Amino acid sequence: METLLAEPLEEAKRELFRNGFLDVEVDPTLDLFAEINKLKKEKNAVVLAHYYQEPDIQDVADFIGDSLGLSQQAAKTSADMIAFAGVHFMAETAKILSPQKKVVLPDLKAGCSLADSCPSDLFDHFKSRHPGHVVIMYVNCSAEIKAMSDIICTSSNAQKVIESVPADQKIIFGPDKNLGKYLIRKTGRNMVLWEGACIVHEIFSAEKIMKLKNRHPNAKVIAHPECETQVLELADFIASTTGLLKYTINDGATEFIVATEAGIIHQMQKSSPQKTFIPAPPDNSCACNDCPFMKLNTLEKLYLSMKYELPEVSVPEDIRLKAKKSIDRMMEISAQAGL
Ligand code: 13P
Ligand code: SF4
């Protein structure tokens, strides 16, 4: 039962949380799964989680998905609050699509190296050096960059988005150069690329994957298109996280070498408990195939963010409206393609 003394304490904790002190103490005896489920009901909240989140966060989520699936869910949910267990650009995309809903991110510092590689002032200069180009940007970028773009894409729909543009139209693509190079090979379009990259997908070692393949000759290599060309050349299958998960479910192989962030293996293993999933090795001995930004979110922080409805993600209205146009275009193309 709440006591009068407990209220100022709760207010003090909320203030600490608001100011970024995320280690606000959580009662260790609490059943966080039960508490989060209770908060969902009390606040008409929904938990959306990316596949790169910790397994316990995936297990308590209402929807787990790739960037496209999460945007689609954010656009259609009837919840009053979205607790976004992912990174900042994803929560921002949810807010752009659903401005009337409160969007909270368990840790505001959960950014993205790829989004950070493309600051809006430098990109503005880049755009001005390439007049007459349509700007297609990967969703892993800030709201400001989305507002400067014509169409957004994710790894699930990038090919369709590029093919929606007339063949003689010049294109700027960013911020991921690896995905860009892959799409140039796939579509035959000659795009001008922004030179950004993801720290997680750039770390995989083609040499170590080849050695691993020698030891597991029946294993299939599956890779996310954010990986470098030499890794993609070794892959039996390349797709977004959802695409990779579906492939492991439907393909006859029983062993897979997985070249993307290791969090996805939780769902692969749950869907196919009889199959073996081997995380692709990085080119050093660190655990760099874990995204340090995604992994800033914890079950405790998710619980606190739902309880205090903080930290909230917001987007200035003028930027939101421009960014929404380029995201809406992506949604239309995806719907037409049945994605
Ligand atoms: P998808 O979820 O679209 O596969 O992208 C992976 C990723 O890097 C998200 O940051
Ligand atoms: Fe960004 Fe890479 Fe982490 Fe995805 S895995 S959020 S692209 S740093």
Same domain, 25 and 68: yes
- Strand spans (E) along 6-118: 45-50, 63-65, 81-85, 102-104
pTM: 0.93
Domain membership flag for residue 315: no
What residue's CA is closest to ligand 2, atom 1?
112
Same domain, 184 and 327: yes
Ligand 2 center from residue 157 Cα (angstroms):
18
Ligand 1 within 6 A of CB of 260: no
Domain membership flag for residue 189: yes
Ligand 2 within 6 A of CB of 126: no
Domain membership flag for residue 288: no
Same domain, 243 and 189: no
Answer whether 287's CB lies under 8 Å from 86's CB: no
Q: Is 317 helix (H, G, I), strand (E, B) or coil?
A: helix
Domain membership flag for residue 246: yes
Same domain, 101 and 168: no
Domain membership flag for residue 313: no
The Cα angle at residue 8 between residues 5 and 12, in degrees rounded to 5: 140
Same domain, 261 and 302: no
Query: Domain count of the chain?
Result: 3
- Measured between alpha carbons, how far is 144 from 127 in angstroms, rounded to an integer? 14
Supply the pLDDT for residue 3: 47
- Strand spans (E) along 10-154: 45-50, 63-65, 81-85, 102-104, 134-138, 151-153
Domain membership flag for residue 82: yes
Same domain, 15 and 92: yes
Same domain, 103 and 22: yes
Domain membership flag for residue 79: yes
The set of residues, in sequence order, having a beta carbon less than 8 Å from that of 222 and lying 6+ positions away, is 235, 236, 237, 238, 239, 244, 247, 248, 256, 257, 258, 259, 260
Ligand 2 within 6 A of CB of 112: yes
Domain CATH for 62 = 3.40.50.10800
Ligand 1 within 6 A of CB of 241: yes
- Measured between alpha carbons, how far is 184 from 180 in angstroms, rounded to an integer? 6
Given its phi and psi angles, is residue 146 left (phi above 0), alpha (psi -120 to 50 degrees) or beta? alpha
- Asked if omega into 217 is within 30° of 0 (cis), the reply is no
Ligand 2 within 6 A of CB of 199: yes
Ligand 2 within 6 A of CB of 241: no
Q: Which residue(s) pair with 84 in the sheet?
A: 48
Answer whether 254's CB lies under 8 Å from 276's CB: yes
Supply the pLDDT for residue 328: 97
Supply the pLDDT for residue 5: 54
Ligand 2 within 6 A of CB of 227: no
Same domain, 232 and 145: no
Answer whether 135's CB lies under 8 Å from 148's CB: yes
Same domain, 67 and 128: no
Q: Which ligand is nearest to the CA of 155?
A: 1
Backbone phi, then psi, for 313, in 5-degree steps? -100, 130
Answer whether 259's CB lies under 8 Å from 223's CB: yes
- Measured between alpha carbons, how far is 225 from 80 in angstroms, rounded to an integer? 34
Neighbours of 255 (CB within 10 A): 13
Range of the domain at 258: 204-279
What residue's CA is closest to ligand 2, atom 5?
291
Same domain, 155 and 138: yes
- Strand spans (E) along the chain: 45-50, 63-65, 81-85, 102-104, 134-138, 151-153, 171-174, 192-193, 220-223, 237-238, 255-259, 276-279
Ligand 1 within 6 A of CB of 93: no
Residue 293 CA: nearest ligand 2 atom is: 3
Output the tens digit of pLDDT for each of the chain's 339 residues: 444 556 777 777 777 777 666 666 788 899 999 999 999 999 999 999 999 999 999 999 999 999 999 999 999 999 999 999 999 999 999 999 999 999 999 999 999 999 999 999 999 999 999 999 999 999 999 999 999 999 999 999 999 999 999 999 999 999 999 999 999 999 999 999 999 999 999 999 999 999 999 999 999 999 999 999 999 999 999 999 999 999 999 999 999 999 999 999 999 999 999 999 999 988 776 667 899 999 999 999 999 999 999 999 999 999 999 999 999 999 999 999 999
Residue 140 CA: nearest ligand 1 atom is: 10
Supply the pLDDT for residue 1: 43
Same domain, 183 and 44: no
Same domain, 125 and 190: yes
Ligand 1 center from residue 66 Cα (angstroms):
6
Which residue from 88, 146, 124, 135 is spatially nearest to 322, judged by alpha carbons?
146
Domain membership flag for residue 289: no
Ligand 1 center from residue 5 Cα (angstroms):
45
Ligand 2 within 6 A of CB of 114: yes
